Structure 1
Amino acid sequence: MQNISITKQPLAWAVAMAVAGISISSLAQAEDAQQLKLPTAVVTGVAQQSPGVVVTDTKQPRQPVPASDGADYLKTIPGFSAIRSGGVNSDPVFRGMFGSRLKLLTNGGEMLGACPSRMDSPSSYISPETYDKLTVIKGPQTVQWGPGNSAATILFERSPEQFSEPGMRVDGSVLVGSHRRFDRNLDAAIGNSLGYVRLMANASKAHDYNDGDGDRVPSRWNKWNSDVALGWTPTEDTLLELTVGGGDGESRYAGRGMDGTQFERESVALRFKQENITDTWQALEAQLYYNYADHIMDNYKLRTTPATAMPMATQLDTRTTGGRIKGTWQWDNFELVTGADGLTSEHRLRARVGDSMMMGKTHSNMVKDAEFKQWGVFGELSWALTQTDRLISGLRVDRHKVEDHRDYLAMRRRIPTLTVATCKAPGCIVNPTANKTRTETLPSGFVRYESDLQSIPATTYIGLGHAQRMPDYWELFSAGGANGMPSGTPSAFAATDPEKTTQLDFGIQYAQGPIELWASGYVGRISDYMLFEYWTGPAPANMALSKVRNVNARIMGAEVGGAHRFAPGWKADASLAYAYGKNTTDGRALPQMPPLEGRFSLGYEQGDWSSAALWRVVAKQSRVDENRGNVTGKDFGESSGFGVFSLNSAYRIDSSWKVSAGIDNLFNKKYSEHLNLAGNGAFDLPANTRVYETGRTWWTRVDVSF
């Protein structure tokens, strides 16, 4: 395994040195400074903060200990699950919805992966603890953050630093655990009333884990991220911030034919915000961003290539640039947010065979196969009908343009070939949509009513939303058309229609004294749902391994939860999440739907000590549609239910230091998630074998904050 050390990266080294200096200075002044105390408890569950919205602090330790990516972090929120393939880089799923049905943004920018099968999903480039806040807006109930958010909008956000006088702060953590797990996180800032410099760094690695039977599961990873933010705050109402960052890593997968040996990220973002412009013009925000993903996958660096296969490697990259501008106006009973956004995304790839042809980081022979452009306008209006009732509505219209730059469809894959001679090989056909362009104009909107009840301390809401989603790269370029892409018929690029979701969201949130209760439900209809179908045997030479087609579907489900502080220091939490989907075109279950899941925790907190137990219970899933799913996963049979029990304790040494420890899967249960990839033969895992999850795992974490 290639050793990726944070100290070998210039930016990360600068971050580490700066943070070390700040730490020493802060330690010397800690006794005299007024510091906020670190929270004592380890997070075992996340509740709604307001109707249909979940907000959580990404820096707090939580159980089970998350991997170093966004998907495993999201799994702690009821309604979320993930398609698993090993130890890291899962793909998030919310209410059974996957991919670009989730609008996932980091500090307002969109980071897209490059792998045709989403080995480097957008969430794999996210290090959650380098952000300050995670916000989840359920359903198509906002139009401010771009198109396509039919299932949810997910925002990983960093707050601007605020220094009224010269000062500094540092937050850091170190985690060690089973299977050589070793995480390091540093977040430091220095500044004054005119501006600041913020430095963020993260590194995480682990070895292959063992499942509940003690069998090794190929899953090791090693990755790092670092970012620097420069902020200018000439007044209390003005912010101009420039952020520059990068990262890289590698990971091997028990459920894939290749491993990821490069996840290189480059990011640049500039944002501006001016508040209190006039009595009615409350704010103006503008943002520009650039995100670049350079991904390499191969079948030989992190595994032994089977004798029946030859060493192969593929390099792919995605370059995304975008921006947004929006203004906020407020009158007596009205608030209006309106603006515009857009992005351009270019995808390229290069395929080679043999190690000698992939030596070094070269981008020679990279060929562009796809280019996406989107621009849109939006507006959201909030109307305070009374002191207790509100009506919120929004509308947006987007123009999409997609260009197909592939001359050939080679070797059952969507790879552009370099010469005409290459396309004479079996399985290669001329692309029927070469150099073609698709354009679509798609509207989206919602209306929601919220009411603070008079009889009980609760808020209810009901909202109707409609979202139209342009097919993404994976749906247009990673699979064949409606007939499996035989020569001479339309490809997925031409045959796949935009997806249209109409959904009713509703719920209630109650809080009084020691009791908190909340519930969110939804009922929806999806027209032209994009469904992947996989061949059950070897595909004909002129066909893709999978095809995508439009079907109609019905979805419904709910998340409910509550907490009760039933005695001094004691708190009980519980939540349930259920998602249902039906393919009404074929009269079958909608595939890749997570089963009913419950999370129950009991915690005790007294002074500087806390302890908690977490019991996660998942029902069996019998509603499946074998060999159908999405670009990453498919149903390959029913799954069994399971229960996993975990424990944790934490001790706050003083206002700046905290140590926590836990044991996940205390009883060493052997289990697998329903959303899962089949095993890979290179690791002696038959194709009908699920990838099993981690057995008993211990971890210890130290947090520091000055």
Structure 2
Amino acid sequence: MSTLFSLRPCAAAVALCCAYSYAHADGAPVTKVFDPLVVTSVRPDQTPLRFVTDPKQPRQPLPASDGSDYLSTIAGFSAVRNGGSNGDPVLRGMFGSRLAILTNNSYMPGACPGRMDNPTSYISPQNFDELEVIKGPQTVLWGPGASAGTIRFDRKAPTFTEGQPVQFDGSLTGGSWGRNDQSADIAIGNTSYYARITANNAHSQDYKDGNGDKVPSKWHKWNTDVAIGLTPDDNTRIELSAGTGDGEARYAGRGMDGVKFKRQSLGLRFEKENISDTWRKLETQLYYNYADHDMDNFSLRDFSPAGGMKMPMTSNVDRATWGGRLASQFVLAQDWTLDVGLDTQQSRHRVRKGMLKTHRDKPREKDAEFSNTGIFSELGWQATDDHKVVAGMRIDFASIKDFRALSPTSGDRRSRTLYSGFVRLEQRLSENTSFYAGLGHVQRMPDYWELFSPNMGTNSHQNAFASIKPEKTTQLDIGVQYQTTDVNLWASAYAGHVQDFILFTYHRGGMMGMMSQVSNVNARIFGGELGADYALTPNWKVGGTLAYAWGKNTSDHRALPQIPPLEARLSLGYETDKWSAGALWRIVSRQGRYALDQGNVVGKDFGPSSGFSTLALHTAYKATNNLTFSVGVDNLFNRTYSEHLNLAGNAGFGYASNQSINNPGRTFWATMTINY
């Protein structure tokens, strides 16, 4: 195992299919054809509620550096910008553990108190076969607290045909600011067994904004994962997997940089389908994920006392998470299906600090311990050919213990029983039109960043661990889709009430110049997304998406912070058997609704933000069935702009205290993909 965890990923040549096979939840195999060759936006799979795509596909803007970067392709998603990489994903203005983020059905929560290593920072999208997004509290199958949505990056078992024992996907990407990526995915096997290795290596230097000013943002990361599987028949899969990775990142908006993002993962999965006429599927899984994260203020920058710390400092945090899942699907009658199961996860967080590298001589001190066990069930009733009802219920037994030696709550444990559920109607209105409406409720235990990161709780005499209540979200989701050979129109909308919304407020003071306070408020949220694709001719297609989110702190009668502004994306594409070309115009409006100095553990509102628009172009050539070349340019007119969800630049790099970090200026990139 120590040998495996010391492996560095190989540089590889690349690829990606334009067709990808996946399975619906009912297990029926379907072939999905993806076009164009370069993705500019992800379209819904069956309804606007559920999105499924192949994250190996080349995409614009510049191919994604992490999971958050790729999610921004989907309408409704944005990110708290962190610099060059490791942004924190936001869906409909909701952040953190309101999003259930899974890799291979396991959790990797990260360790940094400021979410420098948020869960998507450990995800390289091209190393996975499928990305599934379910918006809103409309499933209970994948863990606790998913009030905003569920995100699953997954690897599927490779399938082999007679005479083809080897499969390969790989890519090479190069671009402005020293960007260079290599990825490889190779599988060897037959109908009875397989072995698979996925690896990637990616790097970028500091970028320049539209003014030509350098933004401290360089990063480097690599990952290697190995899986060995047995498939004794078409209905059985047993897989053992292991992986490791590491990296570093410099942040213009933080007082420290990430100098280590070490990941170790182990997993064991067993899947059995078509067990009997009524027992359709059995899934069991065990996993272990470990994050070891180092931060300092001198390795990737010149130390400056203006950065918020008076001397060179190092902090090392780690977090081990282990758990499992057991689930079964039954066909109760011709029109009824039932998914039932349980999942559990345990997590331990430790920390050690020091000057320069002296922390390495100190023992790690446990400061927090988490456990959660959930029981879930989802029932589906196909009432008629055109009407379906789905309902789910989940009960979670959550527990958190404070191990901080100097905390007033040291040794205290918080335990709660939390309830979540939903009911949804899905209806086909005509041959081409479908509709859904679902009402969901989620109770969410505060996470590590909400209980242990703030300087104080609801008042200066209490810490967050003692005072913060679980968050309770009740939300209505509706959607409609119209689809023909040439037209795809869809819309989704939501409206919700959040009781005891967990809110961060920042005050001047303290050694770092800023104190964070966390409290519970009530909030109302609503918004939605629209999308359209229209084939003008067999070769030309136009499309667009529109996303809007709104939130109000009803306790204080002011705007809810960290809500992204109205955003539209318009695309034009041309495609033949060999060539494709396209344009993507992104238009973001001004955000005038804000809550000054309020936000989350990562970001806060500085005030209103300006609107902007950018234009990107790309073209791709399919040289053979196995080889494709893609080139593109982002921010064609070299605009200087920044996102509303942002971090303030760090004074150690010469930024003002409320100066947002600008996005990259004109950026060129090229990708070669190969598969066989």
State the TM bucket, normalised to the shorter chain.
over 0.9
Equivalent in 473, 476, 483 of residue 501 of structure 1: 473
In structure 2, give the amino acid aligned to 1:225.
Answer: N
- Note the C-alpha offset of 1:124: 0.1
Which residue matches 1:315? 316
Is residue 219 from structure 1 mapped to residue 217 from structure 2 by the alignment?
yes
1:479 aligns with 2:448: no
The answer to whether the 8 Å contact 1:508/1:519 transfers is yes
Q: Is the 8 A contact 2:369 2:401 kept in 1?
A: yes
Partner of residue 437 from structure 1, selected from 406, 413, 418: 413
Contact 1:481–1:495 (CA under 8 A) maintained in structure 2: no
Q: Distance in 1 between matches of 2:494 and 2:258?
A: 37
1:524 aligns with 2:522: no
Aligned residue in 2 for 1:405? 403
Q: What residue number does 1:32 align with? A: none
How does 1:352-371 map onto structure 2 within 5 Å? 352-355=354-357, 357-358=358-359, 362=360, 364-371=362-369
Following superposition, the deviation at residue 607 of structure 1 comes to: 2.1
Distance apart, 1:65 and its partner CA = 1.2
- 2:553, 2:559 within 8 Å by CA — same for their partners in 1? yes
Corresponding residue number in structure 1 for 2:139: 142
Q: 1:284 to 1:38 in 2, by over 3 A?
A: closer
Q: Distance in 1 between matches of 2:121 and 2:152?
A: 15
Q: Which residues of 2 match residues 29-44 of structure 1 at below 5 A?
A: 41-44=37-40
Alpha-carbon shift at residue 9 of structure 1 (Å) = 7.9
Read off the aligned partner of 2:291 and give its amino acid letter: A
Cα distance in 2 between the residues matched to 1:667 and 1:682: 30
325, 340, 343: which one aligns with 2:342: 340
1:534 correspondence with 2:506: yes
Which residue of the partner structure matches residue 324 of structure 1?
A: 325
Give the 3-state SS of the residue equivalent to 1:100 in structure 2: helix
Contact 2:458 2:520 in 1 (8 A): no
* 1:105-132 per-position Cα deviation (integer Å, ceiling 9, x unaligned): 0010000111001000110000000001
Q: Superposed, which structure 2 residues align to 1:613-652 within 5 Å?
A: 613-652=583-622
Q: Distance in 2 between matches of 1:228 and 1:437?
A: 38
1:307-358 per-position Cα deviation (integer Å, ceiling 9, x unaligned): 5621001000000001100000012000000000010010000010124x15
Cα offset, 1:163, TM superposition? 2.2
Report the Cα distance in structure 2 between the residues aligned to 1:307 and 1:620, rounded to whole angstroms.
Answer: 35
- How has the CA–CA distance of structure 1 residues 549 and 599 changed in structure 2, closer, same or farther, with 3 Å as cutoff? same
Match of 1:235, SS state, is coil
Q: Contact (CA 8 Å) 1:479, 1:544: kept in 2 or not? A: no
What is the TM-score normalised by the length of structure 2?
0.94
> SS of 1:12's equivalent?
coil
Task: Name 1:415's counterpart in structure 2.
Answer: none
Cα RMSD (Å) of the superposition?
A: 1.9
Provide the secondary structure at the position in 1 that maps to 2:397.
strand
Q: Give how far 1:539 is off.
A: 3.8
1:12 alignment partner in structure 2: 8
Q: Post-superposition shift, 1:544?
A: 8.0
CA distance, structure 2, for counterparts of residue 498 and residue 457 of structure 1: 42
Q: Distance in 1 between matches of 2:361 and 2:494?
A: 46
The residue aligned with 1:29 is none
> What amino acid is the match of 1:472?
D
The alignment partner of 1:11 has SS state of coil
Q: 1:337-382 deviations in whole A, cap 9, x for unaligned?
A: 0000010010000010124x15xxx474100000000001000000
- The answer on whether the counterparts of 1:172 and 1:185 sit within 8 Å (CA) in structure 2 is yes
Whether the 8 Å CA contact 1:533–1:627 is kept in 2: the answer is yes
User: Are the counterparts in 2 of residues 40 and 609 from structure 1 also a CA contact under 8 Å?
Assistant: no
Amino acid at match of 2:452: F
Q: Which runs of 5+ in 2 are unaligned?
A: 16-31
Matched residues in 1 for 2:527 and 2:249: separation? 34
- Asked if 1 retains the 8 angstrom alpha-carbon contact of 2:305 and 2:652, the reply is no
- 8 A contact 1:67–1:88 mirrored in 2: no
Deviation string, structure 1 residues 665-684 (Cα, Å, up to 9, x no partner): 00000000000000101111
Which amino acid in the other structure matches residue 603 of structure 1? G
**Seq. identity, %:** 51
> What is the deviation of 1:74?
0.3
Distance 1:47 1:171 in 2: 23
- Are 1:673 and 2:669 counterparts? no
1:11-51 per-position Cα deviation (integer Å, ceiling 9, x unaligned): 235x66xx79x9xxxxxxxxxxxxx9996621111111122
Task: Report the secondary structure of 1:545's partner residue.
Answer: strand
Moved over 2 A (4+): 7-13, 36-40, 163-166, 480-484
Mapped to 2, the partners of 1:383 and 1:670 lie a distance apart of 52
Distance across 1 between alignment mates of 2:583 and 2:36: 15
- 1:99 alignment counterpart: 96
Q: 1:407 to 1:8 in 2, by over 3 A?
A: closer
Q: Is the 8 A contact 1:468 1:501 kept in 2?
A: yes
* C-alpha displacement of 1:490: 2.4
Task: Map 1:367-378 to 2 at 5 A.
Answer: 367-378=365-376
Paired letter, 1:293: A
Partner of 2:45: 49
1:568 Cα deviation after fit: 2.6
Letter in 1 for 2:328: G
Q: Which residue is 2:427 aligned to?
A: 451
CA contact (8 A) 1:103 1:146 kept: yes
Q: CA deviation at 1:10?
A: 4.7
> Which position in structure 2 is the counterpart of 1:411?
none
Q: 1:238 to 1:9 in 2, by over 3 A?
A: closer
Q: For 1:161 and 1:10, locate their aligned partners in 2 and report how far apart those are by CA, in whole Å.
A: 26
**Matched residue, 1:186:** 184
Closer/same/farther in 2, CA of residues 99 and 307 from structure 1, 3 Å limit? closer
Alignment of 1:78-117 (within 5 A): 78-117=75-114
Alignment partners' CA distance in 2, 1:354 and 1:564: 58
What is the CA–CA distance in structure 2 between the aligned matches of 1:135 and 1:9, rounded to whole Å?
A: 28
Partner of 2:287: 289
- The separation in 1 between residues aligned to 2:305 and 2:657, in whole angstroms, is 17
Counterpart CA distance in 1 for 2:615 and 2:65 is 22
Query: Residue 247 of structure 2 aligns with which residue?
Result: 249
| Contact residue 82 and residue 88 of structure 2 kept, 8 A | no
The equivalent residue for 2:554 is: 584
How many residue pairs end up in the alignment? 651
* 2:297 and 2:313 in contact (8 A); partners too: yes
Residue aligning to 1:460: 435
Distance 1:556 1:37 in 2: 33
The amino acid of 1:480's aligned partner reads N
Residue identity opposite 1:661 in structure 2: V
Q: Distance in 1 between matches of 2:196 and 2:4?
A: 21
